Structure 1
Amino acid sequence: MLLTKSCMERLRRGWKELMPILAAHHLHHYRCHHCCVGKSRRLVFSQVFQPMNFEEGRVPGQESKSGELTCKSQRLMLQAGLIHPGSPGCFSYMPYTVRAIDKLIRVIDKEMAAIGGQKLNMPSLSAAELWRKSERWGLMGSELFRLTDRHSKEYCLGPTHEETVTDLIASQGSLSYKQLPLLLYQITRKFRDEPKPRFGLLRSREFYMKDMYTFDASEEAAHLTYDLVCDAYSRLFHSLGLPFVKVQADTGNIGGEKSHEFQVPASIGEDRLLVCSSCTFSTNVEALSAVQKECPECRNALIETKGIEIGHTFYLGTKYSSVFKALFLNDQNKLVIAEMGCYGLGVTRILAAAIEVLSTEDSIRWPTIIAPFQACLIPPKKGSKEESAAALMENLYDDLDSLPHMKGETILDDRTHLTIGKRVKDADKLGYPYVIIAGKKALEDPSFFEVRCQNTAEVVFLTREGVIDLLRNVQTV
């Protein structure tokens, strides 16, 4: 169809009149879209996958048989929706838990970097031939998850990686003594076929572990490295605020000539410890050659307690390096067998042990530095007299999120259909170090927010500036 000149002119005039309207509409849509995007960037509770179930007496996903006791950390983690059981000893970790694990890994990485550790990642599948070479294929027995591939080659899912890392070093040819000490570590999932998985993440079949393997030029140097790593472990546990004791330990099927465990004293602990109240001597009962009731150093009585093992160190000597021919050239250009050590941290076990010993019977308490979120903000209930203070809470969120170390550390409980009391109760159970509430005092001039410091049980009322100053000093990773 052909248009006349008059029709074309009318269309042009109409288009000129329509353009400003369309432009204004587009600008309004652009502003609305970006406003919504800005708001959606706030971390809000309703959008986090956190399947809580705090019903009185109910433990969701309970694996235990009727009448069998469940430890506090397992019960609290299940009720808070931090973990969800799959098969026995295997769990899904929910977003809050992953955040805590990631933070714990960053703390570990920092300590390992400080002593010269280098991070790598080795395969979970480990060839049976390596384990046969070290004679541990039979020694480990049913603890190994074993499998056979389509070519009839045997493997195991690695519970530890002494064989793999020593074979890796041996494959590089002869190292120079100038490259030593070599401290290699990884943080990966490990697998052990526990005969009776229990206590949630404290004794599971699949778990996260940090394992480090060191290579030194001499026995003397290896002992110095051993002490260096032990000191780093102590600093780590101090930074988490965990009560711990370093005890002499049995070398077990790892082998070697010296071993220590880092234990968190706890009534549900599966290790029996003997601790001297007069000196620094402490030991795992398994490390004693005979029943011993007095300290070999000061002859005072030993006190028995229970503990949860969260770290283990071994001086291996040449147990593995001699088998796999992990050699280096010394300062006289002669080939020498490397001296080794291995060091483990149970990452998910540290998390569970911390919850076990720091929490109350009803509420989780995290080591502050690895809490999933540092602060939970609770605005007024919708339709309440204080509802107008909701905007103050959103502004406070933005202020806190602008602090470099608090970026992503604040969550807004936007379930405003619930009372403040209900949300405060949930926040208490989830264990945020700081819970900030916009109640009646938020309507005063100046506005005051109620701040609950969960780990100290303090309640204070602070202005916006006071809240910012308080959280400006919070240590994060």
Structure 2
Amino acid sequence: MRWWARNALRCRDEPSNNFCLKQDKEGTNNDVVGLVVENVSGLRVDRSELEGVGCERVQQLGRGCCGQVACRFDVRQNRRNLQQIHRLMAFKASQFLFHGSGVPPASKCLSHQALQLNCFIQKVDSGLYSLLPLGQLVIDRINRLIEDEFSRIGALKISVPILGPKKLWDETERWDAMGKELFQLSDRGKSHFCLQPTAEEMVTSLVRNLPSLRVASLPLLLYQTTEKFRDERNPRFGLIRGRQFLMNDMYSFDVDVDSCQKTYSLVTSAYRRIFKDALQLEIRTVVSDPGVHGGAISHEYHLENNLEEDKISYCSRCEIGHKPGETDPQCSHSELQEMSSIEIAHTFQLGTRYAQAFKAFVPGTQRPLEMACYGIGVSRLLPACVDALSIDVKAIRLPNKIVPFDAAIITASKLSSDPTALSLCEELQSALQARNMTVLLHDMHKMSVGDRLYDLNRIGIPRIFVLANVTKRSFSTETELSAVGKSGEVRLDMVTITSGTDRDHRDRDRTEKNGTIGSSNAERHKSNGLELRVLTLNMWCLPQPWPVGSKDRKHRLKRLAEALLIEEYDIVGLQEIWKEGDYLDLVDQLKDVYKFHHYFHSGWTGSGVCILSRHPIVSTLTHRFILFFSSSVPNVQIKMYVFRYSLNGFAHHVHRGDWFGGKV
């Protein structure tokens, strides 16, 4: 059996599958005589680690297009080595996380500050930015999401030059119409070109010159994802308005107006699935002026944003809007809401303007093709999502579908070489990857667990697993598993690990920046799983006057109640509600939604802990149970004990904080 990464069909599910090995029909089933490992997208494999699991380096194959070194290794043992190699191919924080100056750039734009401060992008010059590894991961996931959706509607991917000849733009008279925003240049032969901000001319010319275009080929949908250029008068807000930007642009060609309208509806439906279903964004569709693109119908897709780049009027009843100052003949209601927004996509029905200019006709006729074009600002979508979902420059939030990593694992420094902890870490990593999750291992063991949690929170990792000292004391290995059936068994491969729905980031940040959300779904029966959405929040509500007590305590409690009334959490756990009166006020305001509640009175000062629930609270004690996790070692499983204890503090532990406030 021969495995070649360079000839492999690349897995498209998640960026964790950046390596893919293709089987050749040589050799036996057990012996692997060749292996090529290519480092892509920051994925690195230490050569000494490969040699340590039975791989012998045979030859260096040279550098790839991104400068990575591909080496061929012979695997001298059996297929089990491949599993060990897969474990070595992990994303590590030491390669992806860069710590900036700690001072965000001066700007009123939160995303511009956050993306630079947390090293997603780096400024080169006015309106020009480099994508750093974290930013590139997000952009790659956005592209993959878009392209997967386009594949479902039958669109075909192409790539055309970004350098556009003047003669093409003269055909549509747009060379002069674009004005000073068009980057123009000349070659040594005095021929004129532009750095294209869009590609209608180029793609229409391509379709005209197709040698065997047939009516059966229509509608023809062609798209690309390439860099575009615009000489902005006032570049600002980082990736939101730059001189160079990444755009996904699609062009459709149809036989007549009715067919073009059907294709237009097909693509705009795909847009809605991308923005609303996959990314869970509250997009407003707006009728707009086509401008220099021409055509009769044009729609913009806006996301609410306080930068005042755009202003729209929107009717939530008919789900359509228009730019202020323009009339909207499609809306007969007077319930228009005016808002500041940012455009993230645009679609046009162009008619026959470009096809007529380039003589791109319906095959076998002299009738010009009906054309439409569609564009998504890919690089703008990143900061637009950050602005929409984040409330602090040190805590980026993104839709779950495009986070740089789906999960992260932290192992306490003292356990970094502990066999039991390492085994658990490997099993957890494998289980997450089996669910198509990309996993980041925070391997900077000189940092404390708290600092590493802060690291991961600031880049928006939605699921964080910590293996610390308490975890170590709770785990053991056993070879005798006869009692498993009696105690009840829950294996890691039976557990669905989730942080809730894709709305978690948005829901979390509407409350308070110190809040964290986590929920899990244990599939006791595959057809009847239980999923809970849980909010936990430290309210910092010391009742004394500021500066001894908490600033704006009453205001924050009021805002919390308002948020909880419109959210869909099953359980809310609050800490540092030190005054029982504050708890009772919350209960009164939320009694129609959270009918069950409990306040823990333990400790000298009171625990400050309360629970609000949509479901009956049957006990305030934690009960002992056992979890078994499957291990790759034969006849070995990892067992975790969880014990029943009261939330009250211990009377004899005067030196502990829970003596004063109760165990939390």
The answer to whether the superposition gives a TM-score over 0.5 is: yes
**Relative to 1, partners in 2 of residues 1:416 and 1:33: Cα closer, same or farther, differing over 3 Å?**
farther
- The CA distance in 1 between the partners of 2:290 and 2:283, in whole Å, is 20
- The CA distance in 2 between the partners of 1:53 and 1:264, in whole Å, is 29
- The CA distance in 2 between the partners of 1:254 and 1:179, in whole Å, is 25
Contact 1:145 1:191 in 2 (8 A): yes
Contact 2:200 2:251 in 1 (8 A): yes
> Are 1:381 and 2:413 counterparts?
yes
> Are 1:285 and 2:317 counterparts?
no
**Relative to 1, partners in 2 of residues 1:464 and 1:373: Cα closer, same or farther, differing over 3 Å?**
farther
User: Any stretches of 5+ residues in structure 2 without a counterpart?
Assistant: 1-48, 56-80, 477-489, 509-515, 523-626, 631-664
**Which letter maps to 2:436?**
H
Deviations 1:424-451 (A, max 9, x none): 01111110111111134312434899x9
Which residue number in structure 1 is paired with residue 286 of structure 2?
247
Counterpart of 1:328 in 2: which secondary structure? coil
Counterpart of 1:267 in 2: which secondary structure? coil
Alignment coverage as a number of residue pairs: 417
> Are 1:317 and 2:365 counterparts?
no
Contact 2:386 2:398 in 1 (8 A): yes
TM-aligned CA deviation for residue 387 of structure 1: 6.6
- The CA distance in 2 between the partners of 1:177 and 1:283, in whole Å, is 36
Counterpart of 1:335 in 2: which secondary structure? coil
**Relative to 1, partners in 2 of residues 1:172 and 1:444: Cα closer, same or farther, differing over 3 Å?**
same
1:2-151 superposed matches below 5 A: 31=52, 40-48=88-96, 50-53=97-100, 55=102, 58-59=103-104, 62=105, 69-151=107-189
1:154-303 superposed matches below 5 A: 154-172=192-210, 175-238=213-276, 239-285=278-324, 288=326, 297-303=331-337
**Relative to 1, partners in 2 of residues 1:418 and 1:250: Cα closer, same or farther, differing over 3 Å?**
same
- The CA distance in 2 between the partners of 1:281 and 1:37, in whole Å, is 53
Which residue number in structure 1 is paired with residue 376 of structure 2?
345
TM-aligned CA deviation for residue 47 of structure 1: 2.7
Identical positions, percent? 33
Deviations 1:257-296 (A, max 9, x none): 000011111111411101124433311236x16xx8xx87
> Are 1:304 and 2:338 counterparts?
yes
Contact 2:300 2:346 in 1 (8 A): yes
Counterpart of 2:353 in 1: which secondary structure? coil
**Relative to 1, partners in 2 of residues 1:30 and 1:83: Cα closer, same or farther, differing over 3 Å?**
closer
Structure 1 length normalisation: TM-score?
Answer: 0.80
- The CA distance in 2 between the partners of 1:349 and 1:76, in whole Å, is 14
- The CA distance in 2 between the partners of 1:224 and 1:30, in whole Å, is 57
**Relative to 1, partners in 2 of residues 1:383 and 1:323: Cα closer, same or farther, differing over 3 Å?**
closer
- The CA distance in 2 between the partners of 1:464 and 1:206, in whole Å, is 52
Counterpart of 2:246 in 1: which secondary structure? strand
Contact 2:412 2:445 in 1 (8 A): yes
**Relative to 1, partners in 2 of residues 1:373 and 1:216: Cα closer, same or farther, differing over 3 Å?**
same
TM-aligned CA deviation for residue 351 of structure 1: 1.4
> 1:428 is matched with which residue: 457, 472, 487?
457
> Are 1:366 and 2:425 counterparts?
no
- The CA distance in 2 between the partners of 1:388 and 1:173, in whole Å, is 64
Which residue number in structure 2 is paired with residue 471 of structure 1?
none
Counterpart of 1:382 in 2: which secondary structure? helix
**Relative to 1, partners in 2 of residues 1:258 and 1:31: Cα closer, same or farther, differing over 3 Å?**
closer
**Which letter maps to 2:226?**
T
Q: Which has the higher helix share?
A: 1
Contact 1:278 1:300 in 2 (8 A): no
Which residue number in structure 1 is paired with residue 468 of structure 2?
439
**Which letter maps to 1:343?**
Y
- The CA distance in 2 between the partners of 1:364 and 1:402, in whole Å, is 23
> Are 1:327 and 2:366 counterparts?
no
**Which letter maps to 2:391?**
T
Counterpart of 2:161 in 1: which secondary structure? coil
Tell which has more relative contact order, 1 or 2 (C-alpha 8 A, sep 6+): 1
Deviates more, 1:299-308 or 1:167-176: 167-176
**Which letter maps to 1:206?**
Q
TM-aligned CA deviation for residue 91 of structure 1: 1.0
Deviates more, 1:138-147 or 1:95-104: 95-104
Contact 1:397 1:410 in 2 (8 A): no
Counterpart of 1:326 in 2: which secondary structure? coil
Deviations 1:22-80 (A, max 9, x none): xxxxxx995467599777533221133x322272xx12xx4x5xxxx331111110011
Contact 1:53 1:80 in 2 (8 A): yes
Which residue number in structure 2 is paired with residue 5 of structure 1?
none
Counterpart of 1:337 in 2: which secondary structure? coil
Which residue number in structure 2 is paired with residue 25 of structure 1?
none
Counterpart of 1:334 in 2: which secondary structure? coil
**Which letter maps to 2:354?**
Y
**Relative to 1, partners in 2 of residues 1:279 and 1:391: Cα closer, same or farther, differing over 3 Å?**
same
TM-aligned CA deviation for residue 415 of structure 1: 1.1
- The CA distance in 2 between the partners of 1:38 and 1:337, in whole Å, is 54
- The CA distance in 2 between the partners of 1:204 and 1:412, in whole Å, is 34
Contact 1:273 1:283 in 2 (8 A): yes
**Which letter maps to 1:138?**
D
- The CA distance in 2 between the partners of 1:392 and 1:245, in whole Å, is 48
Contact 1:120 1:185 in 2 (8 A): yes
TM-aligned CA deviation for residue 388 of structure 1: 7.2
Counterpart of 1:237 in 2: which secondary structure? helix
Which residue number in structure 2 is paired with residue 458 of structure 1?
517
- The CA distance in 2 between the partners of 1:227 and 1:140, in whole Å, is 28
**Relative to 1, partners in 2 of residues 1:297 and 1:96: Cα closer, same or farther, differing over 3 Å?**
closer
Counterpart of 1:285 in 2: which secondary structure? coil
**Which letter maps to 2:406?**
Q
- The CA distance in 2 between the partners of 1:221 and 1:92, in whole Å, is 41
**Relative to 1, partners in 2 of residues 1:227 and 1:443: Cα closer, same or farther, differing over 3 Å?**
same
**Relative to 1, partners in 2 of residues 1:460 and 1:236: Cα closer, same or farther, differing over 3 Å?**
closer
Structure 2 length normalisation: TM-score?
Answer: 0.59
TM-aligned CA deviation for residue 172 of structure 1: 2.8
- The CA distance in 2 between the partners of 1:188 and 1:459, in whole Å, is 37
Contact 2:50 2:85 in 1 (8 A): no
**Which letter maps to 2:378?**
V
Query: Aligned Cα RMSD in Å?
Result: 2.9
**Relative to 1, partners in 2 of residues 1:199 and 1:401: Cα closer, same or farther, differing over 3 Å?**
same
- The CA distance in 2 between the partners of 1:402 and 1:185, in whole Å, is 31
